[in-house]
Structure 1
Amino acid sequence: MSTQPSFETIRLAVDGAVATLTLNRPERLNAAPPQMFGEIRTALQWLPGSGARVLVITGEGRAFCSGADLQGRALAGNLTRGAGAFKALTEQYGPTMLALAELPMPVICAVNGVAAGIGASLALAGDFVVAAKAAYFLEAFVNIGLVPDGGATWMLPRLVGKARAMQMMMLGERIPAEQAESWGLIYKAVDDAEFQGQVAALAQRLANAPTLALGLIRKGVARSLQQTYAETLQMEAAHQHVAGDSADAAEGGAAFLEKRKPVFKGE
């Protein structure tokens, strides 16, 4: 395993099979400059060789991520000017969202507070989004004359349908965690006091699961949203070929025949 990279705007910790990536600018509600997304991408590139089998993304302090960091830039800054926004999105934010989608392990986004703008896109990119009940989601772009980014216009209609997606993006209103759960926008909204425990339990459950199969499920779902039924059937067959030859599949079959709980090693 290569040496873990060092970071300025995030923290990355690997505890056994569980990796935790923490957005670490609490004084700015974890507002995300392009540097932060560049560091996230570096972390994602390093993780597959780390021994981790699940990734948890969360925020330090009382926010998950309040959006792109606009403070200190003249007239709301380069990120709100066309050329600057295009550069940041194509060179940092967009490539990082793609790297997250391609990560070969499950991703839990533990939303501890506000997830706004690009922070909402990052939060909703998780396979499991667990939110504290005090948290909320906000497509804030329209409120400052901008358009959603970070993949929001692709994700939201697929998650909640066109009508609710348009409500979020065109009205720019807060969607509280419990409403987000009722819409199917997120996996679960939990009491604040139970938040950390439920995230940890879910992470451990996924870390003990067959990692190769979970990675193929992630890839399969992403591809199925862009291809035909026939193409998806063929893809599933190819993925089943790979999964079927894995050590975890052999262990799963043996455990079934022996009537015991399988012990998966992520291989």
Structure 2
Amino acid sequence: MTSSPPLLIAQDESVRAVVLRGAGRAFMAGGDLHSLRADPEGGAAAMLVPLNAAAESLAHLNAPVIAQVHGAGTGAGMSLMMLADFVLVAEGTGLNLAYMKLGTCSDAGASWALPRLVGLRAALEIALLCDDLSLQDALRLGLINRVLPKGEMEEAVLQLAQRLGKGPTLAMGHMRRLMRSSFERTLSAQLVAEADAFGVCTRTEDMRRGIAAFFERREPQFLGC
């Protein structure tokens, strides 16, 4: 794990798992409303350019991404949360897409991620009504993976990151991108994309190690390459 920004993480092939977390009382409570009030267009550009670059960077990583959410995940916080591969949430956390309350549409990929996670009808309800989303409903809809007591979050995230960090990172990257792109492809096109990615994996040290471990009836020791 690393505390580097996403753009730097994307350039570091030694990264095996990424944890998104917020310092202080919340994961992320949305954008800087003071700057938007003072200069709506300029403030929006100043926020969205780096935010969108980070979202793109996270999506193209090989390393899986875990969101460790506490306090609040609202606005862009909820948007970034939805881009992660795993979402662990502390009890008592507030979730709200919130954009309609400010008279604006979403950013940071929410309109892309939300309907893919919950379906169009539920996505529109969440986005247009902007009601507080209970953690039970978030679990039921598949927006989050686990709800944990605050005191158990750090250990649970660490264990998950360590487990993912021991995996075949390059293969994980292909898998996470294949799944995300599958909504834009026909089955035939997806089969081609899978075959291409599989071909890349056949040339990796990790696949050689995985197959050897299978025949030797032991756990594989992957290198991430």
Does residue 19 (structure 1) correspond to residue 29 (structure 2)? The answer is: no
The residue that corresponds to 2:161 in the other structure is 203
Contact 1:138 1:173 in 2 (8 A): yes
Does residue 120 (structure 1) correspond to residue 78 (structure 2)? The answer is: yes
Greater percentage in strand: 1
- Give the Cα–Cα distance (whole angstroms) in 2 for the partners of residues 248 and 112 of structure 1: 35
Does residue 183 (structure 1) correspond to residue 166 (structure 2)? The answer is: no
- Give the Cα–Cα distance (whole angstroms) in 2 for the partners of residues 77 and 168 of structure 1: 28
| TM-score, normalised with respect to structure 1 | 0.79
Does residue 219 (structure 1) correspond to residue 177 (structure 2)? The answer is: yes
For 1:221, the aligned partner's letter is M
Does residue 160 (structure 1) correspond to residue 118 (structure 2)? The answer is: yes
The residue that corresponds to 1:35 in the other structure is none
For 1:244, the aligned partner's letter is T
The residue that corresponds to 1:43 in the other structure is 8
For 1:70, the aligned partner's letter is L
Which blocks of at least 5 consecutive residues in structure 1 are unaligned? 1-17, 22-39
> Whose RCO is larger (CA < 8 A, sep 6+)?
2
Note closer, same or farther for the CA distance 1:156–1:85 as it changes in structure 2 (3 Å cut): farther
How far off its partner does 1:96 sit?
A: 1.9
Residue-by-residue CA offset, 1:134-190 (whole Å, 9 max, x unaligned): 212211111121111111111111111122211211111111333211211112212
Contact 2:27 2:72 in 1 (8 A): yes
How far off its partner does 1:90 sit?
A: 5.5
How far off its partner does 1:124 sit?
A: 1.1
**Structural RMSD (CA):** 1.8
Q: 2:27 aligns with which of 64, 68, 71?
A: 64
Contact 2:28 2:74 in 1 (8 A): yes
| TM-score, normalised with respect to structure 2 | 0.93
Which blocks of at least 5 consecutive residues in structure 2 are unaligned? none
Contact 2:17 2:65 in 1 (8 A): yes
Contact 1:117 1:148 in 2 (8 A): yes
Does residue 52 (structure 1) correspond to residue 15 (structure 2)? The answer is: yes
Note closer, same or farther for the CA distance 1:99–1:132 as it changes in structure 2 (3 Å cut): same
For 2:208, the aligned partner's letter is A
